[in-house]
Amino acid sequence: MSEGPWILGLSCSHNASACLLHGDHIVAAIQDERLLRYKRQRTSARFIRYCVNYCLGAAAIQPRDLNLIVCSSILGSSDRDVDDIWLNDYIRAAYFKVPLLTITHHLAHAVSAFATSGFRDAATLVIDGSGTRFECLTDDEQAVVLNDDARAGDWEWLSYYESHDTVLRPVFKQVLHPHTFDQDGLEHFGSIGHMYAAVADLLFGDFLDAPGKVMGLAPYGTATFPVDQWLTVEDGGLVRFSPEGLREAKRRCRDERDLPARADVAASVQRATEYALINIVHKIRAMSASTNLCYAGGVALNSVANELLVRQSGFEQVYIFPAAEDSGVSVGAAYYGLWQLEHHNTRQRVRHDAMGRIYDGGRIDRAISSTPAVSVRRSSNIASDVARLLCHGEVVGWFDGRSELGPRALGQRTILYDPRRSDGKEILNRRVKHREMFRPFAPVILRDHAQDWFDVAPEEQDSPFMLRVWTFLGSKATLVPAVAHVDNTARVQTITRDVQPLLFDVLSAFFAETGVPLLLNTSYNVAGEPIVETPEDALFCLMSTGIDCCIFDDRIVRKQEGFKSLLDLRPRISAKAIMADLPVVAGCVMASADDAAVAPSPWQDALIPFEPSAMWHVRDAVRSRSGSGSRMAYGLVQTEWGDVAVLIPEQYFRLLTKIDGICDGHALLDTTCGWSEKWLLTALAGLYRASLIRFSCASLSATEGKSTD
């Protein structure tokens, strides 16, 4: 049992998260997006609650029991109250007299990597899109900014710290000016993260989630743009960016169907990223007294660039924190708090990205028994049974212990598949993932077999967090086409029995059966949805996709014979309340004949969750986008982590008005006009994830009362 202070670290950003330490032990760490089932959930310091409740609940403590809270916030709202954690009604730090510290964004990233590296000393590098504003940096950090024109309003995006025990000394830092656009609407970016995101936005219309797609597309193309069209690196390490690369990319990508041209753009920006990273790291190597490198920040998820860094940086050891993007900032904030209280570092390497809470057998059984239309079988040898199912071509959902904090599924909430199938990618995409076909799937491999399959030295064959990319040896890739990328590489996760015994045994059984020591391993979710967290999330993903079965310890759960889709079930409203703003005219509430009429959501088709006490802020935001007289609809729902309000777009609101708890999905489809089956399935799944509805079996007599509560 751990001893020491209870310390809560918070990251308030577009990847809001919390981390609870007891002494130097991570009790739990989670992103809000996993709990609210809404990707990239943005949460500000005043309203952060659900991830905090989750972490404190894992330890059965209350906010009053905390010894310290450390918060890192980068939302930078114009409304300062929104960023003020002292105003947080759930944490109530002032009332409970809990000390509170704040920490800058890159410092928190840096601490997350160094504190979990096990190193006594290291050079620590952080690269992302943007972090803390220049005027909010400490004097020490401002003093090492390389840009001679840095000013208030700029954002840090690259930082290098010399790290020793509990001291991180800033050595150099680079900031960027806020985005500007030229007369052609062309974005002038100022960081590697924003450069990559600008290309992701150009190619896929999504700057936050699509950078991974750019990396996946790059090997299909050729880097035909000169690097200096994107950036140059000066002798002192200062990176200067040029908009010419993006201008040229825009010109070449006028035709959306011209995949080769788009792939060339992806390859070009990837090469520029690698060039800058290697140049910067070589400069750091020349300056650092340490032979160890720690690395974090969103750009550290670029596993292709990481591989170059591991092989060419000149550092003897390289450690990359698995939650390298902003979810990991809460871990850094928490360890920074520990350093302030206890003045010692952990010196223990994090070897397993499994930081969520435990769901015991009783909880799993309750989730299964309350899910309609499933059956369960217990296995006396789950490892060999799962290996056999995989050999038979089944898509297996794998739920094992604590969830991962970072964005990669690493065997805790994972979908497994036979990598030998040449149609594996197509099957997984058609039945579950619905991703672009150019995107690769990744393998998990028994660590001691890695050198037999990949071009990697025995002493370097560790990749526990899927942050490296290796080339297949010889013709090995032809044996596992479902996980081989077009350039004969794979983004690999290695596992060992001491860290992940159950999955290790499955891989061993599959190896014994087939001679192949690896499996396809992809995240347990559908496109656009956060990775599943609870047993209920995993079961719903089973019910709403083409996954064949889900494994919970020794349980094999399947859909019942004859079940085809969510339309076979009866949805019923489970929200506490659903409301639509009604205008007041001449002192009267105007309840029109068509109460279902609300304004189309300014955020398209998204069901957006928010903390109920943030209602006035959300209402202001809606009206600033869609007009002061517009009516919004919202629901109030109960979740395990607290009550949540949900902004409901017009079409979803109309669907909710049709749900009576009696009609099944087929009847809903018959009684409504203009909804396709595909849209209705998507909408029902969205309403379920937002906790606005639950499902019961359509057959009232046989399964009355059995529902997915």
Binding site for Fe ion (CB under 5 A): 128, 326
Nearer to Fe ion, 73 or 544 (CB): 73
3-state class (DSSP) for residue 177: coil
Nearer to Fe ion, 64 or 179 (CB): 179
Nearer to Fe ion, 323 or 373 (CB): 323
Q: Residue 292 CB, nearest distance to Fe ion (Å)?
A: 22
Q: At what angle do helices 650-658 and 677-689 cross, to 10 degrees?
A: 90
Nearer to Fe ion, 193 or 356 (CB): 193
Q: Residue 101 CB, nearest distance to Fe ion (Å)?
A: 19
Burial class (CB in 10 A: 0-12, 13-18, 19+), 571: buried
State the CB neighbour count (10 A cutoff) for residue 426.
12
Partners of 158 in the beta sheet? 127, 174
Nearer to Fe ion, 326 or 536 (CB): 326
DSSP 659-673: --SSS-HHHHHHHSS
Nearer to Fe ion, 326 or 537 (CB): 326
Nearer to Fe ion, 328 or 419 (CB): 328
Q: Residue 130 CB, nearest distance to Fe ion (Å)?
A: 8
Q: Residue 446 CB, nearest distance to Fe ion (Å)?
A: 33
Q: Residue 444 CB, nearest distance to Fe ion (Å)?
A: 27
> Whose structure tokens read 């920490």?
103
Q: Residue 579 CB, nearest distance to Fe ion (Å)?
A: 36
Nearer to Fe ion, 53 or 124 (CB): 124
Partners of 425 in the beta sheet? none
* Distance of alpha carbon 499 from alpha carbon 495, whole angstroms: 7
Strands (DSSP E) along 1-120, which ranges? 6-12, 17-22, 25-31, 68-73, 100-102
Q: Which two tokens stand for residue 446?
A: 């028994």
Which residues have C-beta within 8 Å of that of residue 90, sequence separation ≥ 6? 48, 49, 52, 53, 63, 642
Q: Residue 159 CB, nearest distance to Fe ion (Å)?
A: 10
Strands (DSSP E) along 103-255, which ranges? 121-127, 155-164, 167-176, 180-181, 187-188, 231-233, 239-241
> Whose structure tokens read 């960023």?
83
Q: Residue 329 CB, nearest distance to Fe ion (Å)?
A: 6
* Distance of alpha carbon 444 from alpha carbon 496, whole angstroms: 11
DSSP 480-508: -GGG--TTSEEEEEEE-TTT-HHHHHHHH
Strands of the 6-12 sheet, one edge to the other: 25-31, 17-22, 6-12, 68-73, 100-102
Q: Residue 106 CB, nearest distance to Fe ion (Å)?
A: 7
Nearer to Fe ion, 187 or 326 (CB): 326
Contact 537, 37 (CB under 8 A): yes
Nearer to Fe ion, 10 or 217 (CB): 10
